[in-house]
Every structure is written in C-alpha cells, then in structure tokens.
Chains A and B, each alone.
Chain A
Amino acid sequence: AQTVTQSQPEMSVQEAETVTLSCTYDTSESNYYLFWYKQPPSRQMILVIRQEAYKQQNATENRFSVNFQKAAKSFSLKISDSQLGDTAMYFCAFIYIIQGAQKLVFGQGTRLTINP
C-alpha cells in the first residue's frame, strides 16, 4: 500500500523559532517524487518544496529545507526563522507512476501555528 503518515496533527511555535514537521511514507515504487504543500486559511494548495527520490541531496527553498532519508522512508520539513505567514496546514505527499497514471498520495496534514 502507498501511504503517507504525518504523526503530528498540530504544532505550535514562537515566531523566529525553527520547527520540524515529520513525514513518513510507504511505497514499493522506486521512482517517485516527494512534496510538501502549504494550505493557508484561503484553502489554496501551495507547493513549498519538492524532492526527487533519486537525488540524495536534500532540497532547500529559502527558509524551507527537507531531511530526506530514503532508506527510512522519511521526509521531514524544517522551517527556519518561522514567520506569522507560515501559519497553515502542511501536507506531505508523494507522486508515483503506475501504468502511465500519476498517483498523488497525501498525508493527513499538520496544522502549524506560529505565535507572535
């Protein structure tokens, strides 16, 4: 089964702190891509960061970085110098190809609150 597990339903930190969101996944596929999406109160799905599974180097996007442990099937998101605008629901997801179809599998989400 292809699954994504986010074990932290909610997290809360103070502004400017660093926070790490956990994500583990399970797949038998060898070729896949991993994502973190942000969903602010507007409900829009916004791509935060992307990682190709075949790349060992961890992806970074400004204050956002991932810790990708392929053998452990772990894909955590680190937000440095957190800002009030980072308050949102965060979804971990991966995409794989099966019989030509793209299958995007999401975790349950982590609600992150940044406090002033």
Chain B
Amino acid sequence: EAQVTQNPRYLITVTGKKLTVTCSQNMNHEYMSWYRQDPGLGLRQIYYSMNVEVTDKGDVPEGYKVSRKEKRNFPLILESPSPNQTSLYFCASSPLLAPGKTQYFGPGTRLLVL
C-alpha cells in the first residue's frame, strides 16, 4: 500500500529538548516536504527536498532542520524546541516530474512544546 508514515503521532516535550519527527514513504518519490498547520493559517511549508542530499527552505524554516540521506526518509529536527513550534506537522511526498499528481500526506504529528 502506498503510504507516508510519520512517527511519533503525538509528542509532548519541554522547551529546549531536541526532538526528531521521522517521515518515510514507500513510493520512491523524489520530492518530500514538511508542513505545519496552525489555526487560521492553513498549511505552511517548512522545508522541502527534491532528492537525496538536496534540501531547501520553505516559507517558515526558522527553528527547524532536515536531512535527506535516503530517498525514502526525510526527518524533521527541532534542535531547541520552543512553545511557538507547538503545531500539527505533516510530511508529504510526490513524484518530482508530476507536480499535478497527488501529494501524498502522512497522518500528521501533533506536537506540544511546554
């Protein structure tokens, strides 16, 4: 089954404690991206990757890092989380040369930073 998985699904942490949210896809997609969803703001892109070792900033990259060492995985790293990073996070993937095709979204990770 084609899918994007994220872990953990729910996370409560404290300010400053480094955390990683994993994202994995099984469709051999080149393009992967991270979004955060906040009330009244829709989804905003944090980072994206067009292929292995190729990453770039989206619209709201401050406070986040990513890496793309393997095609299937695209972890999101919060080195020093702060309360304003409390949000719902989505990972997505799609074929690079078919942007009109469906973006496959993960199930979401709800993060609370105290």
Q: Which residues of A contact B (CB under 8 A)?
A: 4, 9, 33, 35, 42-45, 47, 50, 52, 91, 93, 95-97, 100-104, 106-109
A43-B108 CB under 8 A given contacts A33-B100, A95-B100, A104-B103: yes
Q: Hey, what's the 0/1 contact readout for B27-64 against A, CB within 8 Å counting as 1? A: 00001010100001111110010100000100000000
Q: Mark B79-97, 1 if CB is under 8 A from A, else 0.
A: 0000000001010101010
Interface residues on B, range: 20 to 34
Given contacts A91-B43, A100-B50, A102-B48, contact A45 B90 (CB under 8 A): yes
Chain B residues near A95: list those with CB within 8 A. Answer: 99-100, 103
Contacts of B35 in A (CB 8 A): 104, 106
Question: Beyond A102-B96, A104-B33, A104-B103: 5 further Cβ-contacts under 8 Å?
Answer: A35-B103, A42-B107, A45-B90, A45-B105, A106-B35
Contact across chains for B42 and A52 when beta carbons are under 8 A apart? no
User: Which of B33, B42, B44, B102: most chain A CB closer than 10 A?
Assistant: B42
Closest to A50 in B: B100
Expressed in whole angstroms, the Cα–Cα distance for A93 and B90 within the complex equals 15
Residues on B with C-beta less than 8 A from A44 are 105, 107-108
Q: Are A52 and B100 in contact (CB under 8 A)?
A: yes
B49 CB → nearest A CB, Å: 10
Q: A44-B108, A109-B42 are in contact. Are A101 and B103 (CB under 8 A)?
A: no
Pairwise interchain contact B44-A106, C-beta atoms closer than 8 A: yes
Given the interface contacts A95-B100, A101-B50, does A108 sit within 8 Å of B41 by beta carbon?
yes
Q: Which residues of A contact B44 (CB under 8 A)?
A: 106
Q: Which B residues touch A97, using CB under 8 A?
A: 99
A-B pairs with beta carbons under 8 Å apart, 20 shown: A4-B42, A33-B100, A44-B108, A45-B90, A52-B100, A91-B42, A93-B42, A93-B43, A97-B99, A100-B50, A101-B56, A102-B33, A102-B94, A102-B96, A104-B33, A104-B45, A106-B42, A106-B44, A108-B40, A108-B41
Are B100 and A106 within 8 A (Cβ)? no
